[in-house]
Each structure stands twice: as structure tokens, then as C-alpha cells.
């Protein structure tokens, strides 16, 4: 049980992909290692899937138990599991963490080790940077440490929120206690070789940026460059787009789907429907 942390560009994704390759080659099986993340985009970056999808976690009620059919399906999926890796630890909330551990414990190795944390899976690794995005709704590692440090029990339980409170407490203990028995911190930034860029990113990461940093970033705004450069950036498939409003995001997604269809000359969606003429 360990957590690997470090700034963006320090090699966390490379370590994940290296472990995947080594374990699958040694075991001659793709099912001995599983990779997941809290969100779809984060999972895509490490060629995994969301924790909800991998472990059958209910989105609205993460502590909800699996029914017999889902438990059977997950047991089959985890029957050879030796290594479980979860990326973007900062985005993990306590409820999803609780649900993930419980489902693995119940289903790994057909539930034979359900009395052990993580069902006796030999290796469980969390990757991430706690200075990055926090959970969108419920509490994660930072808030959990502040609330439950020194193993402080939660406030008086109420019948209405008992499961929610227990789930939050147990999930936080997994994040801040169990998974931090061993912590490895990566400190070298491989994303840039420029010392000034590296120092700037380090200051921004911890909220210690200067006015000189702000001026430098403003000068890099795309409006300061010729239109040809902007078009090149916009047409690059690796360009990351961020929007403050969902409407703008949805419009951009539609535009990109249309461009994809025109570029490859194939449909971008298939509708499972049937025409019925009632006339």
C-alpha cells in the first residue's frame, strides 16, 4: 500500500505505464493489473477506466452494496488481480474510496480474503498531486486529514446520515492513513528543461507566484500571437480545451465531432432505433 506523489511532469504516468507493461509481460495476462481514475479524462490519460466503471460503484450512493449479478461480474474481472493502481488521488473523495475498497475486498479472489483490506490484493498504489484539483463534491484527502487527523471519530451519528458519515470517515482513513504507510515523492520535472519555466511552475503549484510570473504568463496569451499560430494550435488534436460554461463545452464537442466525421469520412454515432409506420 503506497502513494506516489509529485508535480505534473515528474513521471507518474510513465511509472504507471511501465508497471502495466512489466506485470502483464511477467504474468502473460492483461487481467493481473488494473488502472482507474476518478474521472473519464484522467482515466483516458493512463489508458484505464473510471473507478465507478471498473468496480461497479454507484454514482449517487457509493456505499451501496453490489447485487449478486454485479458481484459475480466483478469477481470474474478481479479473479487474477495482483496490482491495482488509481491515478489522480487529489480528485478522489472519501465516499468513492470507501466504495472502491469495499468492492475489491468483497470480490477479489472470489471474496476469499474479504476480511483483509483490499481483499488481499498484493499491490495497491495511489498516484497524484494533492496540489491539483480536489474532489468536485465530497471531501478528499486534504479535508479528511483536517477533519479526522489523530484518528478522531466523526460527530454523533444520525439515523438519516449514518451511512454517509461512516462512509466519509472510513474513506478518509484509507486515503490519509492506510494508503500513506509508504509515500514516494517525485521531485524532478521532466516536462521542461528550462529552469525559469520549472521555477515558475513550482511557485504556481504552491500559490507563491510573483507579479513577474503573472506578467510572463499574460505575455503568452494566444491573442498576442498571429492568427496562423492560433489556427495551428486549435487544429492540433493534442490541444486541451477548458471551458467555464457547459454550453461552450458542448458546442466545442459538437464541432470536434463534425470535424472528425469530415476528416475520416465515417459516421460519428450509431443510433439503435427502429422505424415503425403506424399509419
Q: What is the pLDDT of residues 231-254, one digit of tens each?
A: 899 888 788 888 889 899 999 988
Fold of 2-186: Rossmann fold (3.40.50)
Q: In what order do the strands lie in the sheet with 83-86?
A: 49-50, 33-37, 83-86, 123-128, 2-6, 182-186
DSSP state of 35: E
* Surface-to-core class of residue 267, CB atoms within 10 Å of its CB (0-12 exposed, 13-18 middle, 19+ buried): exposed
Give me the phi and psi of 48, to 5 degrees please: -120, -150
Q: What is the pLDDT of residue 190?
A: 86
Residue 28: the pLDDT is 94
Mean pLDDT along residues 167-175: 85
Taking only the tens place, the pLDDT of each residue in 39-71 is 887 888 788 899 999 999 998 888 888 999 999
Average pLDDT, the chain: 86
119-123 mean pLDDT? 95
Q: Is the pLDDT of residue 144 over 70?
A: no
Q: Is the pLDDT of residue 158 over 60?
A: no
Domain boundaries, the chain: 2-186, 194-220, 225-279
Would the pLDDT of 87 be above 90? yes
Rounded mean pLDDT of 143-166? 63
Which pLDDT does position 157 carry in this prediction? 53
- Return the axis-axis angle of helices 94-107 and 68-77, rounded to nearest 10°: 80
Backbone angles phi, psi at 76, to 5 degrees: -65, -40
| Selected residue with higher pLDDT from 242 and 138 | 242
Amino acid at each position: 500500500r503506497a502513494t506516489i506523489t509529485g508535480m505534473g511532469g515528474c513521471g507518474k504516468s510513465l511509472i504507471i505505464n511501465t508497471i502495466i507493461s512489466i506485470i502483464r509481460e511477467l504474468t502473460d495476462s492483461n487481467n493481473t493489473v488494473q488502472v482507474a481514475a476518478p474521472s473519464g479524462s484522467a482515466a483516458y490519460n493512463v489508458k484505464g477506466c473510471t473507478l465507478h466503471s471498473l468496480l461497479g460503484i454507484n454514482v449517487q450512493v457509493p456505499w451501496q452494496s453490489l447485487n449478486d449479478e454485479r458481484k459475480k461480474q466483478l469477481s470474474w474481472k478481479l479473479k487474477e488481480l495482483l496490482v491495482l493502481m488509481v491515478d489522480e488521488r487529489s480528485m478522489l473523495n472519501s465516499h468513492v474510496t470507501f466504495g472502491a475498497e469495499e468492492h475489491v475486498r468483497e470480490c477479489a479472489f472470489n471474496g476469499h480474503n474479504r476480511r483483509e483490506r483490499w481483499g488481499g490484493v498484493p499491490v495497491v498504489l495511489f498516484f497524484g498531486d494533492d496540489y491539483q484539483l480536489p474532489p468536485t463534491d465530497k471531501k478528499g484527502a486534504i479535508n479528511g486529514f483536517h477533519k479526522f487527523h489523530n484518528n478522531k471519530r466523526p460527530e454523533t451519528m444520525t439515523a438519516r446520515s449514518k451511512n454517509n458519515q461512516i462512509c466519509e470517515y472510513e474513506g478518509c482513513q484509507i486515503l490519509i492513513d492506510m494508503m500513506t504507510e509508504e509515500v514516494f515523492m517525485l521531485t524532478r520535472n521532466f516536462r521542461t528543461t528550462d529552469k525559469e519555466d520549472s521555477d515558475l511552475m513550482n511557485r504556481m503549484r504552491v500559490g507563491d507566484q510573483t507579479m513577474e510570473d503573472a506578467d510572463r504568463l499574460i505575455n503568452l496569451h494566444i491573442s498576442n500571437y498571429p492568427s496562423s499560430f492560433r489556427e495551428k494550435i486549435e487544429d492540433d488534436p493534442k490541444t486541451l480545451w477548458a471551458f467555464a460554461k457547459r454550453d461552450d463545452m458542448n458546442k466545442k464537442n459538437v464541432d470536434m465531432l463534425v470535424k472528425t466525421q469530415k476528416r475520416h469520412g465515417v459516421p460519428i454515432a450509431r443510433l439503435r432505433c427502429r422505424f415503425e409506420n403506424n399509419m
